[in-house]
Structure 1
Amino acid sequence: MPWNGRVQFRAGRLLVSIILLAGLTYLFIDLARGIDGDSLYRFDMGIIQVVQGSINDLSTKLLLLLTSLGSVKGNMVLVILFSIWFIWKKHYLSTAFLVFVTLSGGFVNRYLKWIIQRERPSLNPLVVENGFSFPSGHSMSSFILYGALIIIATRMTKNWSIRIPVYLVCGMMILLMGYSRIYLGVHYPSDVLAGYAAGGVWLIVSAEVFKYVEYLGRRKKR
C-alpha cells in the first residue's frame, strides 16, 4: 500500500475508533443517569420478565456452566491458555495486550461499581452474588476478553475460514454471557448493556495504545 494510502487508512481507522468510543461512552453515561428513573426500570423489568419466563432445569444448568467461564477464575484460565498459545506462536505483543486488557479491565469494573453502587435485582435470583450490580462484571469482562481475541485473530491471520468462526464464537459468547446474567437474576439488562459499553471503551483505548506501541517499535527498527 502506498504511503498516502497507509496514512488515509490509519486516519480512517482512528476516526472509526473515536466514533465508537464516543457512542459507547454516551451509552454508559446515559444508562448510569437513568438508574433511578422509571423508563429504565420499565425497560429492565420488561426484558427480565421475558427472559426469566423461559426458565427450565436444562437451561439453568447450561447457563450456570457458561457464567462460570465469565468468573475471575474462568477468565484467568482462558487468558493463561491463550497466552501460552500466542507465546508459542511468537505473538508476544498480542500476549501482552490480552493479559493487560483483561486484568486492568477487572480493576476498572470494580472502580465503576464502587462509584455507582447499584444494588442487585431481587426478583427470582437463581444464584447468590455479592457486591454491586452496575456495570455487570461478567458482561464487561467477556466483551473485553472475546473482543480482544477478535482483534488478535484479525491481526494473526488473513484467512477468513479462520476469522469467521472466531468472530462467530466470540460474538456468541459475549451475548450468551450477558443473557445468562439476566436469566440467573443477578443483573438488570441495563447492567449488562453498561458492561458491554464499558468493556468496549476499555478495549478500544487499550487497543489504540498497543497499536501506538507497536508503531514506535517498528520505527526503532528502521
Structure 2
Amino acid sequence: MNAKLKVTIFLILSITSVLCFTIVASLIRGRWIAQVDSSVISAIQGMESPWLTSVMKGFTFIGSTPVVIVISVTCLLLFFKFLNHRLELILFVALVAGTAILNQLLKISFQRERPSLHRLIQESGYSFPSGHSMVVFALYAALAFLLWRHVPTRRGRTAVILISIMMILLIGISRIYLGVHYPSDVVGAYFASGFWFTFSVWIFQWYMENRFKRTSPTGN
C-alpha cells in the first residue's frame, strides 16, 4: 500500500473514532442508551454459570493493570532484543501509557457511576469509559500493528489479528458480564482508544514517511 495512502487512512480513522466516541458520550445520559444497555446486560448476564464466571474473571484479570504492565514490559524487552527498532518501542509506550492517561481524564470528565444491579466482582472508580477495554484495545492493537510489520507469512499475520480482536472483545464482554460496566462504557472505550491508536500511528507513519524522504538519495 502506498505510504501516503496509509497516512491518510489512519487520519480518517482517527477522525471517525472521535466522532463515534462523541456520539456515544452524548447519549450516555439518555433513556434510549439506558434501554439498550439494559437489554445487552440482560442478554449477557442471562448466560451466567459457574464455569463461565470463572472464564470471565480470568479475562478481566488479563486486562487488569498489573498484568497489562507485565505484558507491556515483556513485549518491550522482546522487541528491543529481536527487532531493535527504537521508534517502534516509543510508539508502543505512547500507545499504552497514553491510553491509560486518556482514560483517567475521560472518567473524571464524565463521572458516570457504575451499574449496581448484579455485580459479580467489586470495582471502584467511575464507569465511562471502561479502563480495561481502553487499555487492552491499545495493547493488543499496538502488538498487532508492530508484529504485522515483521511477521513474514499471511497466515501468521492473520493469526496475530484474530488473536488481538478476540482478546479485545472478550475482555470487554467480561466487564459487562461481571456487572462492573455498561455496554456503552465498553463501546465508548473502544472508540476512545481507537482514536488514540489511529492518531498515534498516523503521526508515526507521517514521521517515517518524511524521514525516508529526507534520507533518500532522490529526496529534496
TM-score by length of 1: 0.91
Q: Does the Cα contact within 8 Å between 2:7 and 2:205 map onto a contact in 1?
A: no
Please list every run of at least 4 consecutive aligned residues from structure 1 whose deviation after the TM superposition is greater than 6 angstroms: none
Gaps spanning 5+ residues in structure 1: where?
Answer: 1-5
Partner of 2:117: 123
Asked whether 1:64 is paired with 2:60, we answer no
Gaps spanning 5+ residues in structure 2: where?
Answer: none
Partner of 2:146: 152
Partner of 1:36: 29
Q: CA deviation at 1:68?
A: 1.2
Tell me the SS of whatever aligns to 1:152.
Answer: helix
Q: CA deviation at 1:109?
A: 0.4
Q: CA deviation at 1:216?
A: 4.4
Partner of 1:3: none
* Letter of the 1:203 counterpart: F
* Letter of the 2:26 counterpart: R
Q: Deviations over 1:122-153 (max 9, x none)?
A: 11011111110000011111111111111112
Partner of 1:75: 68
Q: Distance in 2 between matches of 1:13 and 1:81?
A: 28
Give the count of matched residue pairs. Answer: 215
Q: Distance in 2 between matches of 1:17 and 1:217?
A: 18
Q: CA deviation at 1:219?
A: 4.4
Asked whether 1:135 is paired with 2:125, we answer no
Partner of 2:78: 85
Q: Distance in 2 between matches of 1:134 and 1:193?
A: 10
The sequence identity of aligned pairs, in percent, is 34
Q: CA deviation at 1:97?
A: 1.3
Partner of 1:199: 193
Q: Deviations over 1:175-204 (max 9, x none)?
A: 001100000000000000000000000001
Partner of 1:176: 170
Partner of 2:14: 21
Asked whether 1:113 is paired with 2:107, we answer yes
Tell me the SS of whatever aligns to 2:149.
Answer: helix
Q: Distance in 1 between matches of 2:92 and 2:11?
A: 21
Asked whether 1:162 is paired with 2:156, we answer yes
TM-score by length of 2: 0.92
Which of 59, 70, 88 is the aligned partner of 1:94?
88
Query: CA, structure 1 residues 218+18, in 2 after alignment: closer, same or farther (shift >3 Å)?
Result: closer
